[in-house]
């Protein structure tokens, strides 16, 4: 049996994160199973010479991916797969791309790992109310005699959304003695049971959980959903964590609640816009913990996404089913 003809590949992504996602050893391995069309390019370099796409079978990309519109696709008649070493494919896909029925791989599964790890860390800190007590200690210049915190035994953790990251967080939480609740209209009771959690309505989730973590996609029906009504339901000392999309939170309404409720803590790793406007209250509210999108893959963690792309390229070369191809019918509901 002869070896399959190696596909011709081209890597197009922003330069400053390229070596993290595709370190030299990984690029060498890709070169053993595919023929490079040429050196890596940025989106701007590709736009200045789109003819380089002629004869390209596989487009490898990541942050700074080119938009797969009719113009670009017209220069890539042989294109048969796009492998994206990043979480979301929404910014680069178009109706013209989906009409070509070209499989596109997302590395969301690899990016979910550090997001879930960050979220788990913040949940455990939230159950101990570390952020609240530390700021009160600074303000009072002393320690409370007997801090009252939920702790990690018998407390309730709420997951708003059970996509890939929400489910991974739920899996992590099974190792702790906490009651996990979730709100997700796309999840049935049987699946919830398998995940070791209980489905509840959104109002109950916010009203009864010591920590609420957001993992829903940003859709018209979820944009600005977390505002005055839901945040006002949070119990004394509760923590809100957002590693999903900043647009899920209505900033104006959330700021109002957080000003009235200094007992609450909001851990915001995402905002809208991102970064926040320089005069945004997110920068000055003492009960807001603001981090610059740290939950997603950073530094060496990014190589995990490149490795996922390499594994998918191997499957493509050997005619095996891709494990991380995005379902076109579900693409509109993804984050």
Q: Cis link prior to 275 (omega < 30° from 0)? A: yes
Could you tell me which residues are beta bridge partners of residue 290? 268
Q: Is residue 40 part of a domain?
A: yes
Split into its structural domains, the chain has a count of: 2
| Residues of the chain with confidence (pLDDT) below 50 | 1-2
The pLDDT value given to residue 87: 86
Distance separating alpha carbons of residues 137 and 230, to the nearest angstrom: 28
Q: Is residue 1 part of a domain?
A: no
Does 145 lie in the same domain as 39?
A: no
Does 48 lie in the same domain as 137?
A: no
Q: Is residue 172 part of a domain?
A: yes
Q: Is residue 2 part of a domain?
A: no
Does 309 lie in the same domain as 285?
A: no
Could you list the residue range(s) of the whole structural domain that residue 58 is in?
A: 8-106+299-333
Does 257 lie in the same domain as 118?
A: yes
Does 281 lie in the same domain as 149?
A: yes
Distance separating alpha carbons of residues 67 and 91, to the nearest angstrom: 7
The 10s digit of each residue's pLDDT in 98-147 is 999 999 999 999 999 999 999 999 999 999 999 999 999 999 999 988 89
Q: With CA atoms as reference, report the closest residue to 108 among 89, 135, 134, 128.
A: 89
Does 117 lie in the same domain as 59?
A: no
Distance separating alpha carbons of residues 102 and 121, to the nearest angstrom: 38
Distance separating alpha carbons of residues 335 and 332, to the nearest angstrom: 8
Q: What is the CATH number of the domain that holds 285?
A: 3.40.50.720
The pLDDT value given to residue 123: 98
- Name the strand (E) or helix (H) holding 256: helix 251-260
| Residues sharing a CB contact under 8 Å with residue 39, sequence separation 6 or more, in sequence order | none
Does 148 lie in the same domain as 97?
A: no
Does 227 lie in the same domain as 157?
A: yes
Does 102 lie in the same domain as 48?
A: yes
């Amino acid at each position: 049996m002869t070896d399959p003809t190696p596909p011709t590949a081209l890597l197009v992504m922003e330069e400053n994160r390229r070596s993290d996602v595709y370190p030299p050893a990984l690029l060498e391995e890709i070169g053993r199973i595919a023929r490079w069309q040429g050196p890596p390019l940025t989106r701007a370099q590709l736009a200045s010479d789109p003819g380089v796409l002629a004869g390209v079978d596989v487009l490898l990309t990541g942050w700074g991916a080119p938009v797969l519109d009719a113009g670009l696709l017209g220069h890539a008649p042989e294109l048969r797969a796009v492998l994206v070493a990043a979480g979301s494919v929404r910014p680069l896909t178009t109706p013209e791309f989906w009409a070509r029925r070209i499989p596109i791989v997302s590395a969301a599964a690899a990016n979910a790992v550090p997001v879930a790890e960050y979220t788990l860390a913040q949940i455990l800190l939230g159950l101990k109310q570390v952020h609240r007590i530390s700021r009160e200690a600074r303000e009072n210049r002393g320690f409370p005699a007997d801090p009252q915190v939920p702790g990690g035994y018998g407390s309730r953790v709420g997951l708003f959304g059970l996509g890939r990251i929400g489910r991974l967080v739920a899996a992590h939480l099974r190792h702790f003695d906490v009651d996990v609740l979730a709100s997700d209209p796309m999840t049935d009771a049987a699946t919830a049971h398998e995940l070791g959690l209980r489905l509840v309505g959104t109002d109950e989730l916010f009203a009864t959980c010591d920590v609420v973590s957001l993992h829903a996609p940003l859709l018209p029906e979820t944009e600005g959903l977390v505002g005055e009504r839901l945040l006002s339901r949070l119990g004394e000392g509760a923590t809100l964590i957002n590693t999903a999309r900043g647009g899920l939170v209505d900033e104006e309404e959330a700021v109002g609640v957080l000003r009235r409720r200094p007992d609450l803590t909001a851990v915001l790793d995402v905002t809208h816009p991102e970064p926040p406007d320089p005069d945004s209250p997110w920068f000055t509210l003492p009960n807001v913990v603001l981090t610059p999108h740290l939950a997603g893959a950073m530094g060496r963690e990014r190589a995990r996404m490149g490795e996922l792309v390499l594994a998918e390229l191997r499957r493509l070369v050997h005619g095996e089913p891709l494990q991380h191809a995005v379902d076109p019918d579900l693409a509109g509901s993804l984050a």
